Amino acid sequence: MSLTWNEFRSAHKGVAKSELSKLWKSYKAGEYNFPSKEESEATVEETIVEEPDSVEEVPVEEVSVEENATPIADLCQEYNRLIRKMVLLGIRLTPELKQAGEDRLSEIAKLTIPEGYSCTPTDSWKIWFGPSERTLLVNTTNLMGFEITRSWWKKYYQTTIYVDRETVNNYVYVDSEIQRMIRRKRFLPRSPVVGRECKLPIDYKDIQIRGGQGVN
């Protein structure tokens, strides 16, 4: 039966952290056999313990929900890079490349968005502008945060009026808000999908419809 990291760690109490990590990698690769009781006792006597047993440190391999899954942070980085590249190339993108890019963006969005998140055109939003490009956009109705850039905001939602804006001199408060959302699994370090994950009104017509004024 395959052991979890915590079970493996409990079976090697007293082994130094650096040595334990090596043993774990060998075990996962099927190249490690458990030592006899006498060998284990000898190891405990000879090894200096580097950390208390109460500290839980899970190797990177155990973080992913499934084996070989791409971490969400990496997918979000790919998403942001692809967005920037497509904006930079603009009209130079062939229809085929544009479609391929949009398909990949849609795929990443589905892989990274927290389960249960949805939005409507009437959701409330708040944005924090800091001293750099880095910007925090939060759907305050559904308590979902996205890390965006000033450039992204300017391109898609600069003229929208249905958002609470705040400017800060540093990122202390912004970072505390991000950590709070991370603990609730309601934050993504990427921009939202326009029209799907963020439905703020973009143009004057949308703003009129949102305000219930109708369009003449």
- Give the residue extent of every domain in the chain: 5-62, 69-112, 116-216
Question: 216: pLDDT confidence band, cut at 50, 70 and 90?
Answer: very low
* Mean per-residue pLDDT of the chain: 79
**136: which strand partners?**
128, 147
Per-residue pLDDT, 119: 93
What confidence tens digit (pLDDT) does each residue in 124-178 have?
A: 999 999 999 999 999 999 999 999 999 999 999 988 888 999 999 999 999 999 9
Cβ neighbours of 125 (radius 10 Å): 22
